[in-house]
Chains A and B, each alone.
Chain A
Amino acid sequence: MRKIFFLILAAQLMPGTSLAQDAECAFAEEVIDPATSVKTISTRWWPMTSVIAPVKGAIRGVSQGNSKFLAVRMTAHTFYPLPADLDISAEDTELITKHGKYDARLNPFIEKLQNESFFVPGGSTLRITLEDQTTVVVRTVADYKVRSNVDRPRWNSNGSSHFRVRVTAEPRYLLDTEALHVLTAKPAINMRLESQDRYYTFGHRQPFASRHPFMTPLSWSEKTNLTIQKAINCVL
């Protein structure tokens, strides 16, 4: 029994052994497409941002056949003004029920947002800034739908109103040879994800720190800089 224990321990400590690598990489999914026999392997989700970050996210490496992808899970709050032609007042707070159902008057507006704003189209960019301030731009090769929850409308003191919308997306970005080389060579300090109607920034903006340091999306630690390298290395 003792011998077996020490043998396993030795195997785990040996660098380069598959046992040690698997423990580090922590693969979460392995799927084989029955039609094409193409195998897809995904690492676990590694969080890239802190709890207080305005845009929260996680990344994973994905290997699908011979192609490699970087998948990003993003959750953020965005704001949209209420449509001008919607006849509602500040007292009308039941447009969205506690169960998340929208008032009939609101449905067309939400559908329009979902179809025209809340998605990541094919060809959208993910710009990754490396430690040396160079950037790598990778793109989606398919459309990705965004899950969204709309909060109750809020009225400002000047009479204007807006919705707060919580959006969640999980787009995948194709990594070509150049991107694979550069992203595994250097730590990344931030990422900017493009959706149909706006950009979402993850990570700190150093050294281009804003004049208003509290307004910057400071949302990942220096330790996290290595996460992208780690995730990609796992699927190479």
Chain B
Amino acid sequence: MRPALAASLAVVMFLTALPANAKCKFNVDTVHSRTGEKVLWTKWNTFTLVIKGKVLVGSGLSIGDKKYFALRFDRHASGNKAERDSALVIPANGKLLMKFDDQSILELHTEEEFTGDVEGGKSEIVARYVMDASTLNSLLKKRIMNIRIRTTGADEDFAFGKKGAKKMQKTLACI
């Protein structure tokens, strides 16, 4: 290949790659307080339609070499303090089931237990699910249709629109 052609190809590749990287926004870009590993949390994105009622917000998280899919949602919480505290709990090794448009199902798990924070009659939870390289690859290639989150109470189901599925892929591509 001629040097001039190779140089112009490199410039074109750089310019096309630039907008994708520029769109990655991180809320946390720091080092871990205990291990000194690099910590990145992407900006939270809403994956489900707000007008449908239940809202699922997600973020991509990387701590050192480990990658996580973080999800945030809430549930009504009432009663005394103990009842409100246990209104929304995801146990250690809790399942996240993801259904794709080819009808295949992918399973992710939590490493630890997560408990919702109660405020104003609602319990809001932020749970992290581990992703290995092949899981992340599937999530970036296939179109997600539904998510089912196993909690200590009832399961939580969320349906993804076309836009939400794309948003999720863009978020995870950043880590």
Chain A residues proximal to chain B, CB less than 8 Å: 130-134, 182, 185-186, 192, 196-199, 201, 206-209, 211, 215
With a 10 A CB-CB cut-off, give which of B41, B43, B119 has the most chain A CB atoms. Answer: B119
- B interface, by DSSP: helix, strand, loop or mixed? strand
List 28 A–B pairs whose Cβ atoms lie within 8 Å, in order of A's numbering: A131-B30, A132-B28, A132-B31, A132-B32, A133-B28, A133-B39, A133-B41, A134-B33, A134-B34, A182-B34, A185-B33, A186-B33, A192-B117, A196-B81, A197-B80, A197-B81, A199-B118, A199-B119, A201-B117, A207-B28, A207-B41, A207-B43, A207-B44, A208-B72, A209-B44, A211-B46, A211-B50, A211-B55
Verify B33–A182 contact, CB threshold 8 A: yes
- Residues in A with CB closer than 8 Å to B30 are 131-132
- A interface, by DSSP: helix, strand, loop or mixed? loop
> Given contacts A206-B27, A209-B44, could you give 17 more A-B pairs where the C-beta distance is less than 8 Å?
A131-B28, A132-B30, A132-B31, A132-B32, A134-B32, A134-B33, A197-B81, A198-B118, A199-B118, A207-B43, A207-B44, A208-B44, A208-B72, A208-B126, A211-B46, A211-B50, A211-B55
Closest A residue, CB atoms, query B38: A132
Other-chain contact of B27, A134, A186, A207, A211 (Cβ < 8 Å): A207
- B contact residues, total (Cβ < 8 Å): 24
The 5 closest A-B pairs by CB, nearest first: A207-B27, A186-B33, A132-B39, A132-B30, A185-B33
- Residues in A with CB closer than 8 Å to B118 are 198-199
Chain B residues proximal to chain A, CB less than 8 Å: 27-28, 30-34, 39, 41, 43-44, 46, 50, 55, 57, 59, 72, 80-81, 117-120, 126
Whole-angstrom CA separation of A133 from B39 in the bound complex:
9
Whole-angstrom CA separation of A130 from B34 in the bound complex:
11
With a 10 A CB-CB cut-off, give which of A131, A201, A211 has the most chain B CB atoms. Answer: A211
In the assembled complex, the CB of A141 is this many whole angstroms from the nearest CB of chain B, namely: 21
Whole-angstrom CA separation of A128 from B85 in the bound complex:
18
In the assembled complex, the CB of B97 is this many whole angstroms from the nearest CB of chain A, namely: 24
- Residues in A with CB closer than 8 Å to B32 are 132, 134
Whole-angstrom CA separation of A192 from B57 in the bound complex:
22
In the assembled complex, the CB of A130 is this many whole angstroms from the nearest CB of chain B, namely: 5
- Residues in B with CB closer than 8 Å to A208 are 44, 72, 126
Verify A198–B81 contact, CB threshold 8 A: yes
- Residues in A with CB closer than 8 Å to B27 are 206-207
In the assembled complex, the CB of B114 is this many whole angstroms from the nearest CB of chain A, namely: 11
- Residues in A with CB closer than 8 Å to B117 are 192, 199, 201
Whole-angstrom CA separation of A197 from B81 in the bound complex:
6
Closest A residue, CB atoms, query B55: A211
Whole-angstrom CA separation of A37 from B98 in the bound complex:
63
Verify B33–A211 contact, CB threshold 8 A: no
Closest B residue, CB atoms, query A197: B81
